[in-house]
Amino acid sequence: MRSSRPRLPDVSVTQLEYLVAVERSATWADAAKSLGVSQSALSQGLGQLQRRLGIQLFSWEGRRRVPLEAARHVTDHARSILAQTGDLAAWAERIRAGSAGKLRVGMIDAAAVDHFGETLREFRENRPELDLHVIVGPSSQLLQGLGTGDLDLAICVQPDDPEVTHVPLLDEELLVYGPPGVRQSEPTRWGPWVTFPQGSLTRDLIGKALRALGAPFEVVAESNQPEVLSEMVLIGMGWTVLPRIQAERPPASLTPVQQTPLLKRTLVAATRHPGLANPAAIELTEELQRHATAMS
């Protein structure tokens, strides 16, 4: 019985690398230079890719080759394949070397500063042979880093993404904070708001929770930094919703409008492919889980 699955094209990883390099570079000459190949080899490789896929990826505008819409779709797919192939190569290298080697970790600020800073320091000190590199950023940026293969592990707000494998670490309560002198009032009178930028997972949770209470969610200022949001509340620019541990520490020391949390967010340890997970990422996740359990 013949399979209904279409026959896979004979496409190489090198050809996909060429395509991604062209997308990232200003010119084909720059792309070839970044790969360490001649422009002729680059052109031949992409020509083979087009023939094996059976679709045209580029057209000519004068003397310039420009990507067609199909090229953008293929490039997105190529990035994913290259990230996964990189995972496989790194995993194979770790198996051959018998060591973890390198670990690239992304953390949101609350995880890096407020919850797991000491755990991370001890983990590094206990593994002097491990090349541990940490990036602090918003959850959306960290999840993107996982997808592109730039990160092995992300400690972030729980995503709604089936492509990401994650284990829960802890729940954070987020409270409502108003400018100095505001009194407790009905949610319909809360705001305007200073909060995280568009695309933030926490901002989405905040907006949903406020609307459920009938509160308007008019945003007048944005920042990824909780300290900046707290200072904007202090000068009367607006209201905010933050974890207590960030909003109520000096120098801002905000006071919540009410003691009942508006919502909870779950911080997780996220990876891409558990079957090929970095052994050091597994160890760090276990350490973070133990620390989170001890805090609860």
Cβ–Cβ under 8 Å, residues 82 and 58? no
pTM above 0.85, yes or no: no
Residue 91 pLDDT > 80: no
32 φ/ψ sector (left φ>0, alpha ψ -120 to 50, else beta): alpha
Share of the chain above pLDDT 90, in %: 73
101 φ/ψ sector (left φ>0, alpha ψ -120 to 50, else beta): left
Least confident range from 96-110, 122-136, 145-159, 205-219: namely 96-110
pLDDT for 65 equals 86
| SS3 category, 250 | coil
CA distance 69 to 72: 5
For the chain, what is the total number of helices (H) and then of strands (E)?
A: 11, 10
pLDDT for 114 equals 94
Least confident range from 148-152, 169-173, 276-280: namely 276-280
CATH code for residues 102-169+267-295: 3.40.190.10
Q: CATH homologous superfamily for 171-266?
A: Periplasmic binding protein-like II (3.40.190.10)
pLDDT for 14 equals 94
Share of the chain above pLDDT 70, in %: 95
* Residue spans per domain, the chain: 13-91, 102-169+267-295, 171-266
**Mean pLDDT in residue range 262-275:** 89
Same fold, 13-91 and 102-169+267-295: no
pLDDT for 122 equals 95
Indicate the fold that domain 13-91 takes in CATH.
Arc Repressor Mutant, subunit A (1.10.10)
Residue 98 pLDDT > 50: no
Give per-residue pLDDT as tens, 69-83.
Answer: 999 999 999 998 998
**Mean pLDDT in residue range 151-174:** 94
Give 182-232 as a DSSP string. -----GGG---EEEPPTT-HHHHHHHHHHHHTT----EEEE-S-HHHHHHH
